[in-house]
Amino acid sequence: MSSLTITLIQTNLTWENKKANLDMLAQKIESIQEKTEVVILPEMFSTGFSMKPKFFSEPMSGETIEWMKKMASSKKIILTGSVIIEDDGKYYNRLIWMLPSGDYGLYDKRHLFAYADEHNHYSAGNKRLIAQVKGWKINLQVCYDLRFPVWARQQSEAEYDVLIYVANWPERRIAAWKTLLQARAIENQCYVIGVNRVGNDGNNIYHDGNSMIVDPLGEILYHKANEEDISTYTLQKEKLSEVREKFPFRRDADSFEILP
């Protein structure tokens, strides 16, 4: 059975300041001493949760993507997080799954946070990204997607093994964040990882982190609140297989189809 070592970076972000954030995150990534395979950054890690894509978006050939390529290559890691991207005249809150080779996968956030007017500034995606590494299948999603269980729901016996959410989830609704991360793990019998930011953003909205790793039974393996943190944890495929074999609940699940 294989293992997968992942590192969560829970950090404050400098509001709408790409250079400050990329410099800060480069230092944090370089400081990781443990051997790790995947490093996870928060949502919109280069700007914070900005509704100004006209000012801060980049093409896929832009500075932040090149920075991700450089960091992934130099540390020999997979690096993931979301950034503001302009593509074919539209703006996206786009998660990038950057490999050490410079190849990448991408996922455009499907559920745009209308409460903060995100839907009037960004275009929604309509395709899931399930990446693969070392025999692990990883479903990658962004923040508000967490509230919509159908979008994350396993559609086959072993469609994916790990579900990752990158976020700028505010402290005032953090009970939902913690509860739903555990719920997604239990109902999909998978590991769930949520990486959130800390600190105030440019709208004076406070974020208290509460990044978590949850096992397939809903048990919390890692949890950190109200401070910056870099934590590395190794997931075990054997544990995942044991849970799925002992409790084959998904065999009784309803069949369904997600429409565009």
Which amino acids are annotated catalytic?
43, 109, 143
Beta carbons of 161 and 240 less than 8 angstroms apart: yes
Q: CA-CA distance, 105 to 103, in Å (whole number)?
A: 7
Coil, strand or helix at 12: coil
What is the per-residue burial (b if ≥16 Cβ within 10 Å, else e) of 48-81? bbbbebeebbbeeebebbebbbebbeebebbbbb
Q: Are strands 229-236 and 3-10 parallel, antiparallel or unpaired?
A: antiparallel
Among 183, 182, 180, 213, CA closest to 195: 213
Beta carbons of 38 and 78 less than 8 angstroms apart: yes
Identity of residue 12: N
